[in-house]
Amino acid sequence: MKKVLLASLLALSMSNVAFADDIVDSAIADKTLTTLVTALKAAGLVDTLKGDGPFTVFAPNDAAFAKLPKDKLEALLKDKEALTKLLTYHVVAGKISAADVQAGKIKTVEGHDLSLSVTDGVKVNGIAVIGGGDIKADNGEIHVIDTVLTQGTESKKKVSKKK
């Protein structure tokens, strides 16, 4: 009887245990991030983003990648160095939930800053809207964005307004 009770208690306690996925597995599970997952594999960043972290990834969805000219995207997927630079520009060391986003600059793993704003919703570099809330992972957070970020995007936008 004691063995049955012990086994029942063990099974009950295991049913309440939640196993979170890492950043990569969480991106794979989100069916709007298939191009990002392909790019992470091509850049050799899968093991890094499966690591301890924590990381915050501003993850361009498939629609964001679809805005890029097809030939540019294909060339990027073949250029590991350029692809790595682009993708690490979307990653920040540390965990930032949507509720914790504050206006200001934040350094990316790539080494340059992203500009976050919280006026009229949360935006990255003034253009990419964070949508869908947080995708939590055991080693960080993913925020889905609607634009592939490139260095200088914000400054180009400001220059074009002055003309």
Tens of each residue's pLDDT in the chain, 163 residues: 444 333 333 343 333 334 459 999 999 999 999 999 999 999 999 999 999 999 999 999 999 999 999 999 999 999 999 999 999 999 999 999 888 889 999 999 999 999 999 888 889 998 888 876 679 999 999 999 999 998 765 434 443 333 3
- Angstrom distance (rounded) from CA 41 to CA 5: 47
Q: What pTM did the predictor assign?
A: 0.80
- Angstrom distance (rounded) from CA 145 to CA 163: 28
Q: Where are the beta strands (DSSP E) in the chain?
A: 55-60, 91-93, 104-107, 113-117, 123-124, 128-137, 140-145
Q: Which two tokens stand for residue 93?
A: 């060391």
Q: Which two tokens stand for residue 25?
A: 């597995």
Give, in order, the Cα–Cα distances in Å from 33 to each of 55, 63, 94. Answer: 17, 9, 21
Q: For 73, phi and psi rounded to 5 degrees?
A: -65, -45
Q: How many other CB atoms sit within 10 Å of the CB of residue 74?
A: 11
Superfamily grouping for domain 19-149: FAS1 domain (2.30.180.10)
Contact call for residues 129 and 122 (beta carbons, < 8 A): yes
- Angstrom distance (rounded) from CA 136 to CA 20: 8
